[in-house]
Amino acid sequence: MSWASTFPLRRVRLGWTRAAVPPPAPPARPAIPEAPTPAGPPPQPRLQDWVGVLAMVFGLFMAIMDVQIVTSSLTQIQGGLSATSDEISWVQTAYLIADVVMVPLSGSLSRLLSTRVLFVSATLGFTAASALCATATTLSQMILYRAMQGFCGGAITPSVFPVVYTKFRMPQLASVMVMISLILNLSSTLGPTIGGFLTDTFSWHWLFLVNIVPGILVAAVVWVTIDIDRPNLSMLRYFDFAGLVLMAVFLGCLEYALEEGPRWDWLSDNTILTAVIVSVVASVLFFWRVLTYRQPIVDLRAFLNRNFALGSFYTFIVGTGLYGATYVIPLYLAQVRGFSAMQIGETVVVTGLAQMALSPFSTYIARTVDLRLMLGFGMGLFAIAMYMTACLTNQADFNELLVPQILRGTALMCCYLPANLIALGTMPSDKLKNAAGLYNL
């Protein structure tokens, strides 16, 4: 090989000079993995995946339904436990406080234990707590068992979404999300109906006994069919126990103040005032902790994703209307109108029937219409339904509640699916578990 060929020359004005050898190119950075998107190529889920997800959705139905199943039967439970009308409210409050603490914690626990272990453990714990609730003979026992039930139930709901977004893409994803949307809404609206039927036909104990056999079957099926990740026990070295305590105090006191405040005239009651002060102080410390600790118990940076933030915001609005109406309407029918548990169930079931009627069309609408248009239409319809409900008088019964409930059921099916796809459909897979916990909070 000649010297010239080894060191090439180039002609310039002053003569021949040695050509500049370009520096070696820096190594290419590894490509950042793209966020999973519902529009990706479908992975052709297996029959095993469908069976497992259906089992998880049924577990989701049980967990959400038990929030509302006792609403229409509190009077009977109060008599069975010899409790006062003020004390019996703790049957609901205990469940909600424990549930609201567990939901955001589920993201860290699913990474620590794996999604399958967390879901199965939570389902078995929920089933055991349901059995204990049926054996309660005092109010103290019922409050303890309901808190256990709520804590375990709070881990069930967020565990479903990482599995769904891992196993499915469009168009199967839209079908699964419609099913989940229907189950979430039906479990809330049908809870008082099922509770009233069980109480009138058997006894209030069956509100909890009905969960035992399905709970065991759900846990067994999910253990066999679902396996999307592995435990990461090394997280224990950096587990944010201080953040966990601060979150529990912050959310627990906040939930207590919101639940009991109307009954005790809000801040005029010293206990409510203390709970609010403790919640505010704990919230400041909690947010400081999660924003500075290397592995926070909850990663709030998920809200930097605009789609996730907007989807969560719309879901919060819809959830407020859904659960608010599901709580207030049965209470109104029982205390103002004097309806029985079965009559309450027959009245509020209209919302669920409207959702069931629309569910076959929701998948088609989601595939053919811009999700933003679908969400906007649903929010407008939802606002009309809530306005009509707000204008009701103390003489309203089934006929006056019929149209607002149909509109609300239709609006919920139009809102929940696009809001969920917008919020979680663009989250990176490694952040999906944490985001699912925040989304369901």
Q: If you write DSSP's letter for every residue of 125-179 in order, what string do you get?
A: HHHHHHHHHHH--SHHHHHHHHHHHHHHHHHHHHHHHHHHHHH--TTHHHHHHHH
Record the tokens describing residue 268, joined without a space: 């005029």
DSSP annotation of 15: E
pTM for the whole structure: 0.73
Supply the pLDDT for residue 426. Answer: 74
Give the pLDDT of residue 36: 42
Sorted by where each starts, the structural domains of the chain and their CATH numbers stand as: 47-239+297-440 (1.20.1250.20)
415 Cβ neighbours under 8 A, 6+ residues apart: 314, 315, 318, 375, 378, 379, 382
Stretches in the chain below the pLDDT threshold 70: 1-43, 72, 170, 189, 341, 441
pLDDT value for 441: 66
Q: Quick one: pLDDT at residue 28? A: 42
d(CA 272, CA 266): 6
Report the alpha-carbon distance of residue 17 to residue 19 in Å, rounded.
6
